[in-house]
Structure 1
Amino acid sequence: MRGKAALLGIALMVLCAAVIGNVTAETPEESGDKLIHVSGTGKVTTTPDQAIIVLAVEIENADAKVAQQQNAQKMDAVTNALKNAGIPAKDIRTAGYNIMPVTEIDDKPLATSRVKFYRVTNNLEITLHDVDRAGEIVDIAVANGANRVDRLMLTLSDEKQQQFRSEALTAAVKQARSDADAVVAALGKTVVDVKEVNVGSNYIPMAYDNRYLAATDMAKGASAPTPVEIGEIDVTATVSIAYIIA
């Protein structure tokens, strides 16, 4: 037993020595490189190629069931009209649905609240790949029963986001290198290599057109189409780079 215990002790000591040896070997040494840290920002200006419209049908009635049915009928008409206008079903989705009791308080010594009516709201989100039709689509929705336009966002499709972000990153790296070269040259040194690069987080540009947040009966009767100015948006990207100098 003593012999086995001795062998076990020796084995444990060898194992511990091996572990300690590995830890010591993996401890990084301090770098003697001389570094310059710079950052760069790149920007690409383009026009949106995608619109996201969020609209709603809102109905109020003293009977919750009646309000729900009326809302369903109007939203069905809106959805069918959008599909008939060429919007694919995959680009139309329900963004929210709510039934809320609206109460009022009696003017009595012991005030009590009672339900005045029920408000049913159904929100619809439309993704439009032809931004020039944004105003037309708003008009179609309002003409067929939508009575709220909550949001109209102009942005870029996933493909365009990737394309222009790559261009912005390239511009950011060029700016960073230009700044590094200028500073290093003034010091009588030169850039010899790259030590580290950090890329900033992704930014998805969006432009908001909030002029038409409320669709009214006046809008339904208007003969002029709803104007939507496309404008431009900026895609930006940032990088931080550590260069080795000599």
Structure 2
Amino acid sequence: MDRRQFLAASTVGVAATTAGCLGNALSSTDDPAQAGEDVDTTTADNTITVTADGEVETEPDRATMSIGVESVDESADAVSDDLATRSEQLREAFDDLGIPEDGVEEGQYSVRPSPAARREDGVEEFVGTHSYQVTLDDVERVGEVIDAAVDAGADDVGRVNFTVRDETRAELRKDAIDDALATADEEAEHIASNRGVELTGTTAVTTSDVRVSTVRHDVAYETDDAADAAPETEIDADPVSVTASATVEYGFSDAGD
């Protein structure tokens, strides 16, 4: 079943754009009619320009998340060793989940003195982090991956971003442009009717500003004994929207021509 839902296009900024264009097309400080000259309403100067937005919604088909481990100790070497051990456990969990290698990318790795460390008797505290960027094409598995990562020792699960794959974006871009063009046609017809002129066709079209909204979810989880009794993590993603803008220039003539 096609779950894409088409929304009414947004025309924010259309009125301002068309008002300026109509001012150029339909009025002039040097009116040739007042000087006894014939006015040619079919020249290229007789144009109406409309800018409109189109939007399409769809269910996300890709999720990305940052998952990592943290360590605190009194020496940098101890922190590094702990990060290495726990990072290996985390990578094994990803392998057990069947996540392909290109779906797991190395993220941030750092070992540094703790900014909140207490220096008593020369003792200094170090903190370290090692994170991975995980990408899933099956968004239904997000909760499963989070739970498995936490069970493997992950204590740093960042925000989950839901979006769409490149091929999905390319297809929805066409639908969003179609929506924008349809709205531009409707706006141009309205403007022409209001001004008492008739559209003669399209003289130019440009598209821009293709955008994909990203749905973000903050993850709340427990790493202590209470987590053992907690239910499996479930995250329901809201629809992702793809928007595009179109600017269309229309020629027009007097209604009586």
1:42 to 51, 54, 68: 54
- Normalising by structure 1, we get a TM-score of 0.79
Uncovered stretches (5+) of structure 1, i.e. residues with no partner: 1-30, 108-112
CA distance, structure 2, for counterparts of residue 159 and residue 198 of structure 1: 22
Residue 46 of structure 2 corresponds to residue 51 of structure 1 = no
* 2:85 pairs with 1:85: no
Unaligned runs of 5+ in 2: 1-42
Give the equivalent residue in structure 2 for 1:234: 241
Query: Could you list the per-position Cα deviations for residues 117-167 of structure 1 after superposition, in whole angstroms to 9, with x for gaps in the alignment?
Result: 111101111000100000000000010011011121111011111111110
Name whichever structure is richer in helix by fraction: 1
RMSD: 2.1
Indicate whether 1:146 and 2:158 are aligned.
Answer: no
Q: Do 2:108 and 2:132's aligned partners in 1 also have CA atoms closer than 8 Å?
A: yes
1:65 equivalent in alignment to 2:67: no
Q: Quick one: structure 1 residues 132 and 57, their matched pair in 2 at CA, closer, same or farther if it must change by over 3 Å? A: same
CA distance in 1, matches of 2:81, 2:234: 32
**Equivalent of 1:169 in 165, 177, 186:** 177
* CA apart distance, 1:98: 1.1
Q: Give the percent of matched residue pairs that are identical in Structure 1 and Structure 2.
A: 26
8 Å contact from structure 1 (residues 101, 115) kept in 2: no
Shift of 1:218: 4.8
Distance 1:218 1:50, change over 3 A: farther
Aligned residue identity for 1:62:
E
Count of paired positions: 210
Higher relative contact order (CA 8 A, sep 6+): 1
Partner of 2:128: 120
Which contiguous aligned blocks of 4+ residues in structure 1 show a shift greater than 6 angstroms? Answer: none
Summarize deviations over 1:65-111 as a string: whole Å, max 9, x none.
1111111111111111111111001100112111111154669xxxx
Q: Specify the SS of the correspondent of 1:164.
A: helix
Q: CA deviation at 1:223?
A: 4.0
